[in-house]
Amino acid sequence: MEPMTSFTWGQVVARRLRRHGLATAGADLPATVSAMCGAHAQVMSAAEASIGVRVAGATRTDVRRALWTDRTIVKTRGPRGTVHLLAAADLPMWTGALGALPPPPYATGANALMTPDQVDQVVAAVDGALRDAELTGQELTARVVAACGPWAGEPVMEAFQGRWPRWMQAMEAASRRGALCFGPNRGRQTTYTSPARWLPGFTPMPAGTALPALVRHYLHAYGPATPAHFAKWLAVGQRWARDLFARSDLEQVTVDGEPAWVVAGDTRAAGRPRGVRLLPYFDAYGIGCHPREKVFPGRAAQRALNRGQAGNFAVLLVDGTVAGIWHQRRSGKRIAVTVEAFGTLRPSRLVALGEQVERLGEILEGTPTLTLGEVTVGGHA
């Protein structure tokens, strides 16, 4: 048996920075979105910043053009059921893989509001309704109820203020199976459409091909990693993730002596991690990179995590490690940026931080100012 390849933690960080476009910015926007396994887009300004910091010269206008005009990226539900911007070219893989995942806990057992057959009915109704339309939630509800019956519209699903109709518990299933994605807003109203309408020729990839492809995609961005890391990123059970790793063409390596996995043959190191970056809320790097205690060491674990969960705070990244948090307050074109570093930044890093603030202003098309000091607002503020 050949000896396993060994990585240091620093080499792992350098690989991830390079592949996320955080060592050197890329030039191709959809390729960058693909390489980072999607940008979290529950807050669109955060998604625009996530992509912009990785693509040389890109602004929020470029991201919006790629999404709504060129359609080279698509807004839909991605890993963990959360709203993401994904590369359109990858959507067959994503839907083929996500559609084959075990159902989420909220839709099973005593939590289920529909039988599996009713979920299938709703997904078919959503698919039929959106094939030739962009519909608001209210319009889509009317079409689903007309197709499935009054039970689909019963207000039984807990919502932020009141209750949503029963069918909406299957909205994630419709996204996973490729029947639904987001369309452009109609005024302040969200719309939905079909990926098959939005991206002519689209069809989900067979699960047997899509699932190993997703593992390879994940490990390219986040490897070396373990099945437990993958399970957390995708919100699936660890046993299920271990079984999928065992069926994929992977290679075991070590990271500081601990076992991890990469795509077979993908063992090239990438030097030393370098650079200063400002990453917004829910940036893919902070959420997907593990072990979390190494990405968020010391004070970062206390200030930049919320009960161990990453993403609720925008972070200052120094040489691939979280070294501070930051917050922006926008008023018209003015963007006031406050950065709280967890230690003293040497002069060269202060210069790099200033450049990052200027770059943030370019991405968000505003005029930024920088203040070094305590961030006094809470997470996701």
What domains can you pick out in the chain, each with its CATH number?
A: 276-372 (3.40.630)
pLDDT at 1 over 50: no
pLDDT tens-digit readout, 115-165? 999 999 999 999 999 999 999 999 999 999 999 999 999 999 988 778 999
pLDDT tens-digit readout, 196-235? 999 989 999 999 999 999 999 999 999 999 999 999 999 9
Q: Mean of the pLDDT values across residues 11-35?
A: 95
Q: Confidence class of residue 23 from pLDDT cuts 50, 70 and 90? A: very high
User: Long-range contacts: 320-325, Cβ < 8 Å, 24+?
Assistant: 320/13, 320/14, 320/16, 320/17, 320/22, 320/273, 320/275, 320/295, 321/13, 321/273, 321/294, 321/295, 321/297, 322/286, 322/295, 322/296, 322/297, 324/300, 325/375
pLDDT tens-digit readout, 243-289? 999 999 999 999 999 999 999 999 988 788 899 999 999 999 999 99
Q: Cα(40)–Cα(287) distance, rounded to whole angstroms?
A: 10
| DSSP summary character for residue 306 | B
Q: Are strands 258-263 and 321-331 parallel, antiparallel or unpaired?
A: unpaired
Contacting residues for 6 by C-beta, under 8 A, at least 6 apart: 253, 254, 255, 257
Span of 10-19, 35-44, 156-165, 328-337 with lowest mean pLDDT: 156-165
So what's the pLDDT on residue 108?
Answer: 85
| DSSP summary character for residue 66 | I
Q: What is the mean pLDDT of the chain?
A: 95
